[in-house]
């Protein structure tokens, strides 16, 4: 195989599928640790719960839109009592990264990415720990494909997060987890 054919092969079968613009393939987010709209396992829950480890869950995103230069990620407790409580915000995830491994927060984040301060006033992931008796809380995880590789790090709340993303979002993918305390 000559050099031209090799480069063509790499482009058609390796690079192009990563950044597919096929309308039948939707940008999506998944986790190997829990199904969409199912209970979040205890290992990902805040340490205040018995047997909890507060490890950040793993996520994988596929069908990356063309022209993606970076990603931003957020986790929000959408329960009315929580008032959109932020559990995790990450910006400047490089475009060549398509996953966050289990336990990445604070230990194994992709180079160049930046974890921001959450509603607990902590940097990185803090797992679910809703008030006892408040019912089932729905945790919304969203990955944003962005047309820029650098978002300002001066973000300390959800409003600032979305303001920084304004005009830069190519696509987004959502995933939900559930948790409650009796």
Distances (CA, A) of 133 to 47, 81, 141: 18, 11, 23
pLDDT exceeds 80 at position 3: no
Q: Beta 137-146 vs 28-30: how paired, if at all?
A: unpaired
What is the model's pLDDT at position 181? 86
* Mean pLDDT computed over every residue of the chain: 88
* pLDDT of the residue at 64: 96
* Total-model pTM: 0.84
> For residue range 53-77, what is the model confidence (pLDDT) as tens digits?
889 999 999 999 999 999 999 999 9
Taking only the tens place, the pLDDT of each residue in 81-92 is: 999 999 999 999
Q: How far apart are CA 61 and CA 108, in angstroms?
A: 17
Indicate the CATH number of 24-179 among 3.90.280.10, 1.10.10.60, 3.40.50.10330, 3.40.50.2300.
3.90.280.10
**Average pLDDT of span 34-38:** 97
Q: Where are the domains of the chain?
A: 24-179
Q: What is the C-alpha separation between 86 and 74, in angstroms, rounded? A: 8
Strand partners, 144: 72, 172
pLDDT beyond 60 at 14: no
CA-closest candidate to residue 129, choices 141, 120, 142 = 120
């Amino acid at each position: 195989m000559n050099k031209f054919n090799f480069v063509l092969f790499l482009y058609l079968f390796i690079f192009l599928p990563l950044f597919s613009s096929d309308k039948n393939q939707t940008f999506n987010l998944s986790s190997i640790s829990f199904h969409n709209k199912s209970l979040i396992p205890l290992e990902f829950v805040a340490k205040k719960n018995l047997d909890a480890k507060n490890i950040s869950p793993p996520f994988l995103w596929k069908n990356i839109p063309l022209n993606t230069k970076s990603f931003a990620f957020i986790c929000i407790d959408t329960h009315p009592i929580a008032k959109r409580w932020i559990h995790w915000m990450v910006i400047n995830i490089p475009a060549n990264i398509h996953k966050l491994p289990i336990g990445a927060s604070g230990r194994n984040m992709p180079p160049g990415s930046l974890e921001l301060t959450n509603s607990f006033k902590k940097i990185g992931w803090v797992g679910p720990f809703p008030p006892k008796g408040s019912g089932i809380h729905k945790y919304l995880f969203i990955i944003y494909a962005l047309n820029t590789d650098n978002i300002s790090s001066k973000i300390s709340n959800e409003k600032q997060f979305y303001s920084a993303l304004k005009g830069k979002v190519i696509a987004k993918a959502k995933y939900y987890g559930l948790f409650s305390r009796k």
